[in-house]
């Protein structure tokens, strides 16, 4: 039976524990998987948004560049058309009556021109004679140089003006150069320029930087934050940390050029941190709750298995007692009757002792004594095997102990053994007086038998956890630690002529009263404690 219990405890406990632990690990693995999946999902969503932003910025830049080119063409055409009409009118007036410097200055002011220069006559001869300017020095180059060139509209960014030259024609021999203020046009061009567009995009929420560069530069340059640029088009999106925070760098092709857009990834990192914070919080709660539930489940399973083990032991004990009862009944029937016959024969021989010598009479008395001892062994076996059904009544243990001492004194002499009865705390208990008397008679007899050469017995009555406790201590022959482990087992005895059933019967008496009995050794003193449940008040 012991082997069966060991197998149950050794196989069921690990499997249950592993099942609990496995369930906990599965939940933890699911939590990790969800956290990783959410992090990657946020990465994918953010990167898709970054690509969309880059695509949108690229479309804006393309559209803006196209509009800038168209606006530049249109503005130049308008200015060129306006200046050509002014030149024709100036030539017309010059043919009618040549301009004076003052008249030319007034005309320039009235027409909104920056300056007018008229060169008449042969360019290679005296130029001063045929040169008239509305404002001296408004040109940054000599007039004859411009007049030798074909008619074209030029932009002087330093002086912020447009200049149009109408070279001499054979029929009129007049070269006219006019200029108009280009500040407004330049301002318009600046507003619709690529640089201004990139500046406006960089000011958008979530944009860290934006620039347009060529492919080779995009493959080799560093953007100032230390983010590595990669030529591999499979890696057009990358993370990098900057002094101002994390950035997602997107590289988008614009034909011959490349758009590089840096998107602020602080919100992404914040969401990722929140996810992992929630994960660690959930993991902590999972560990605490899972550990508590597992511990409670383990305790419940342990209690259940302990009850099952106790039930199996009780079942084994009952089977053992039933088997022992049948054996005892057989022994009583098969052995007692012959023993009675032998005892009666010895008694008759002792009564008719004429012709018997002293030696023969002593031998007969010894045989009668051994028969009586055999009878006690059989009676003890029957007593151990007989089912106990206590007939309880209110009892004071001190009275039962005094009665047991009186009965022992009638059979034995213990003048050299001191008995000290101390009643520290006593109340009535529900117990069978006869079984209680048998219990203490056995315990006190054992205590006295352990001290043949004299000693002392101390009996204390006290209370402990709702029980009336009787503690019996004695010196003399003290059992070893190994003996203590089996001291309540049937047929185990330390006496040379003992049956080994006394303490086993005591244990059965206490079990029948739902009490306890335990033994220990402290400082060379053997102590046996019994506990009877107190009477409910």
Q: How far apart are CA 349 and CA 368, in angstroms?
A: 11
Q: How far apart are CA 420 and CA 458, in angstroms?
A: 5
Q: How far apart are CA 380 and CA 495, in angstroms?
A: 16
Count of all residues that appear for the chain in the document: 537
Cβ atoms of 382 and 418 within 8 Å: the answer is: no
C-beta neighbour count of 153 within 10 angstroms:
16
Q: How far apart are CA 185 and CA 192, in angstroms?
A: 11
Q: Which residues are within 8 A (CB) of 305 and not within 5 positions of it... i.e. 6 or more apart?
A: 8, 9, 12, 13
- φ, ψ of residue 364 to 5 degrees: the values are -65, -40
Cβ atoms of 503 and 483 within 8 Å: the answer is: no
Give the Cα-Cα-Cα angle 460, 462, 465 (nearest 5 degrees): 140
Cβ atoms of 423 and 505 within 8 Å: the answer is: no
Q: How far apart are CA 118 and CA 147, in angstroms?
A: 10
Cβ atoms of 479 and 498 within 8 Å: the answer is: no
3-state secondary structure of 465: coil
Q: According to DSSP H, which parts of 203-244 are helical?
A: 215-220
Mean pLDDT by 10 residues, the chain (537 residues): 43 58 79 81 74 69 74 85 90 87 90 88 58 85 81 80 85 86 79 75 76 71 44 56 74 73 76 81 80 79 84 80 70 72 75 70 77 73 71 89 85 75 88 90 87 86 88 88 81 70 84 89 90 77
pTM: 0.43
- In this predicted structure, what is the pLDDT of residue 529? 93
Cβ atoms of 529 and 464 within 8 Å: the answer is: no
- In this predicted structure, what is the pLDDT of residue 232? 45
The helix-helix angle for 101-111 and 2-96 (nearest 10°) equals 140
- In this predicted structure, what is the pLDDT of residue 497? 64
- In this predicted structure, what is the pLDDT of residue 493? 78
User: What residue ranges in 434-483 does DSSP mark as E strands?
Assistant: 455-464, 467-474
Cβ atoms of 422 and 493 within 8 Å: the answer is: no
Instruction: Give me 92's structure tokens.
Output: 């017309």
Cβ atoms of 349 and 356 within 8 Å: the answer is: yes
Q: Which residues are within 8 A (CB) of 239 and not within 5 positions of it... i.e. 6 or more apart?
A: 246, 247, 248, 249, 265
Q: How far apart are CA 50 and CA 251, in angstroms?
A: 10
């Amino acid at each position: 039976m012991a082997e069966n219990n060991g197998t149950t405890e050794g196989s069921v406990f690990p499997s249950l524990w592993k099942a609990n632990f496995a369930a906990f690990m599965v939940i933890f693995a699911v939590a990790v998987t969800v956290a990783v999946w959410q992090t990657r999902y946020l990465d994918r969503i953010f990167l898709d948004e970054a690509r969309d932003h880059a695509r949108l910025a690229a479309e804006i830049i393309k559209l803006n560049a196209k509009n800038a080119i168209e606006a530049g063409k249109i503005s130049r055409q308008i200015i060129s058309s306006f200046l050509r009409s002014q030149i024709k009118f100036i030539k017309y007036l010059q043919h009618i009556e040549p301009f004076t410097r003052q008249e030319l200055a007034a005309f320039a002011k009235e027409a909104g021109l920056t300056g007018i220069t008229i060169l008449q006559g042969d360019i290679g001869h005296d130029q001063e004679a045929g040169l008239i300017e509305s404002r001296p020095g408004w040109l940054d180059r000599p007039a004859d140089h411009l007049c030798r060139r074909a008619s074209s509209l030029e932009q002087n960014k330093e002086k912020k003006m447009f200049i149009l030259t109408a070279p001499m024609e054979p029929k009129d021999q007049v070269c006219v150069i006019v200029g108009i203020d280009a500040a407004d046009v330049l301002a318009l061009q600046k507003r619709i320029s690529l640089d201004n567009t990139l500046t406006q995009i960089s000011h958008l929420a979530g944009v860290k930087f934006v620039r347009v560069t060529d492919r080779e530069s995009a493959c080799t340059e560093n953007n100032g934050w230390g983010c590595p640029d990669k030529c591999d088009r499979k890696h057009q999106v990358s993370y990098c940390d900057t002094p101002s925070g994390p950035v997602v760098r997107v590289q988008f092709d614009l034909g011959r050029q490349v758009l590089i857009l840096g998107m602020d990834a602080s919100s992404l990192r914040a969401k990722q941190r929140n996810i992992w914070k929630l994960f660690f919080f959930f993991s902590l709660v999972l560990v605490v709750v899972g550990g508590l539930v597992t511990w409670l489940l383990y305790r419940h399973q342990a209690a259940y298995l302990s009850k099952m083990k106790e039930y199996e032991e009780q079942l084994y004990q009952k089977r053992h007692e039933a088997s022992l009862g049948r054996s005892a009944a057989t022994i009583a029937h098969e052995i007692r009757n012959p023993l009675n016959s032998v005892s009666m024969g010895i008694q008759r021989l002792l009564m008719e002792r004429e012709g018997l010598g002293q030696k023969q009479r002593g031998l007969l008395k010894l045989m009668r004594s051994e028969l009586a001892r055999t009878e006690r062994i059989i009676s003890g076996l029957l007593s151990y095997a007989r089912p106990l059904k206590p007939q309880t009544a209110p009892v004071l243990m001190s009275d039962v102990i005094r009665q047991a001492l009186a009965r022992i004194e009638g059979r034995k002499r213990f003048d050299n053994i001191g008995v000290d009865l101390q009643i520290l705390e006593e109340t009535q208990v529900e117990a069978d007086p006869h079984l209680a008397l048998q219990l203490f008679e056995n315990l006190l007899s054992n205590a006295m038998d352990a001290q043949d050469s004299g000693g002392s017995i101390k009996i204390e009555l006290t209370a402990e956890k709702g029980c009336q406790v009787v503690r019996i201590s004695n010196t003399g022959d003290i059992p070893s630690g190994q003996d203590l482990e089996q001291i309540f087992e049937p047929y185990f005895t330390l006496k040379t002529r003992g049956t080994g059933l006394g303490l086993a019967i005591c244990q059965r008496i206490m079990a029948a009263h739902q009490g306890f009995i335990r033994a220990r050794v402290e400082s060379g003193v053997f102590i046996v404690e019994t506990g009877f449940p107190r009477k409910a008040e």
